[in-house]
Amino acid sequence: MSGERGIPVRTGQVAECEIVGLTHEGEGVGRYQGFTLFVHGALPGERVRAEVVSVGKSFGRARVTQLLAASPERRSAPCPLFEVCGGCQLQHLDYPAQLHWKRRHVVDNLARIGKLPVAGEEAAGGDGSAAAGREPVVVHPTIGMEDPWRYRNKAQVPIGRGEAGLIGGFFEEGSHDIVEMEACLIQQEENEETVRAVKESARTLGISAYDRASGRGLLRHVVVRNAAATGQRMVVLVTNGREIPREMELIALIRERVPGVASIVQNVNTMRSSVVFGEITRTMWGEDVIYDEIGDIRFAISARSFFQVNPEQTERLYRTAVEFAGLSGEETVVDAYCGIGTITLFLARHARRVYGVEIVPEAIEDARRNAALNGIGNAEFAVGRAEAVLPRWQKSGVKPDVIVVDPPRKGCDPALIATMLELRPKRIVYVSCNPSTLARDLRLLEDGGYRTVEVQPVDMFPQTGHVECVIGIQRIDT
């Protein structure tokens, strides 16, 4: 026993278990004498021996020590660093199976947390009362990629000190130890080329790497962006201090070695924390932004702009959001959490007027610039919290027919949910990167007089456990 009454395992024990599911972090869900073990490296349908590494009151964690019966969907991970990196969790799972389990994860959260019935699935959890008298939610198959590799247009690489000097790659899973890496199979090759050139340039000039233990050294991160539509590249050097020795030589080397570089930027971060960016950003050479496109809309992207990292899937995600909004050209639409205006400008092409709100002032500046860049005159933007700005707009006569939300992983602020229920738009479109907080928020909207109609999962991050969704929500009395 573990010392806890009723728990059949202890730390260090090797347990034989059947794997019945998959978590959103890519761990196998195992059962041992009725107790749940999340097993790193195991896949659904497998039987494994696993060493228990931690035990809690309701579940434990373990690592595979022996594969007794392998899943037919298991494959060899093509990346040699897969076992230590942690950036990808599902390279060892066949891609069609990845898409299946991402949809399964969405369905399970809708049922367990949202208490929502799903078409073609078993009834929602609990007593089923929340599902009574309503049509089940349609959860479509996950939209995947034809080629689920080399999709990321942004790389964010920590820099540190190794035996041979400056290194850069990734944090080893579960630690802050940096492992040197020259290739990543989910990064666009242009990003690899750029990071390699920056590291070589820094080594050539003797620029010091940041040491997290002592807080000394200069170069903390190298962040690069690649704009496939224009061929432009951006390099961001995150430094532990303002002064960069031999700065002009460093700029010259980067320009010489990085094809298409259009912007070289410094961000200063002197905080003793894991936060990547500091508050001070300056352009060292070139433009403040680079330009990329999603569909037929062009975006100016600055060093700290949020811009989706998978452009091919982003276009599918946004076009689904426009479809679920059901726009005829006469609607007033509000885009909460609008960022730099990506979804807003897609919506503006199909609505009478669109209003975007975002708490980050720099993002709203970018949004306004992007609207002007595309000649879109029916979009208006404001800085602030959506739950505060929307009532102010309502008092000035703005009555939204559709509200679109694309919140961070923590989901919508409860005050925004309350505000949407007060404004009572005909439709709500929810873009989510976290199925559990999505299900929680859908339950609140359902209890407030709305019905979740359909869910479209989109695989924005192949080879990882993450899944994004677009959800169409209808007011019941329309």
- pLDDT at residue number 17: 95
Contacts of 72 (CB under 8 A, 6+ apart): 45
Tell me the average pLDDT across 8-17. Answer: 94
Cβ contact 54:61 at 8 Å: yes
- pLDDT at residue number 286: 98
The more confident residue out of 176 and 33 is 33
Strands 35-40 and 468-475: unpaired
- pLDDT at residue number 121: 82
Tell me the average pLDDT across 386-392. Answer: 94
State pLDDT tens for residues 266-292.
999 999 988 999 999 999 999 999 999
Contacts of 392 (CB under 8 A, 6+ apart): none
Q: Which CATH code fits 14-74?
A: 2.40.50.140
Burial of residue 121 (number of CB atoms within 10 Å: 0-12, 13-18, 19+): middle
Q: Is the pLDDT of residue 461 over 80?
A: yes
- pLDDT at residue number 125: 45
Q: Residue 172: what are its φ and ψ, rounded to 5°?
A: -60, 140
Instruction: Locate 219 and state its tokens.
Output: 């170069």
- pLDDT at residue number 22: 95
Q: Is the pLDDT of residue 1 over 50?
A: no
Q: Which CATH class is domain 154-294?
A: mainly beta
Where along the chain do its domains lie?
14-74, 138-143+306-475, 154-294
Q: pTM of the predicted model, to two decimals?
A: 0.92
State pLDDT tens for residues 75-118.
999 999 898 888 899 999 999 999 999 999 999 999 999 999 99
Q: Is the pLDDT of residue 57 over 70?
A: yes
Cβ contact 308:295 at 8 Å: no
Q: Which CATH code fits 138-143+306-475?
A: 3.40.50.150
State pLDDT tens for residues 416-453.
999 999 999 999 999 999 999 999 999 999 999 999 99
% of residues, the chain, pLDDT over 70: 96
- pLDDT at residue number 2: 46
- Picking from 105, 136, 143, 142, the residue whose alpha carbon sits closest to that of residue 454 is 136
Q: Is the pLDDT of residue 128 over 50?
A: no
Identify the active-site residue in 79, 338, 433, 469: 433
| DSSP state letters, 184-244 | -TTB-HHHHHHHHHHHHHHHHTTPPBPBTTTTB-SEEEEEEEEETTTTEEEEEEEESSS--
- pLDDT at residue number 131: 52
Helix (H) or strand (E) holding 439: helix 435-447
Q: What is the average pLDDT score of the chain?
A: 93
Task: For residue 401, name the pLDDT band (cuts at 50, 70, 90).
Answer: very high
Is 88 tagged catalytic?
Answer: no
Domains 138-143+306-475 and 154-294 share a fold: no
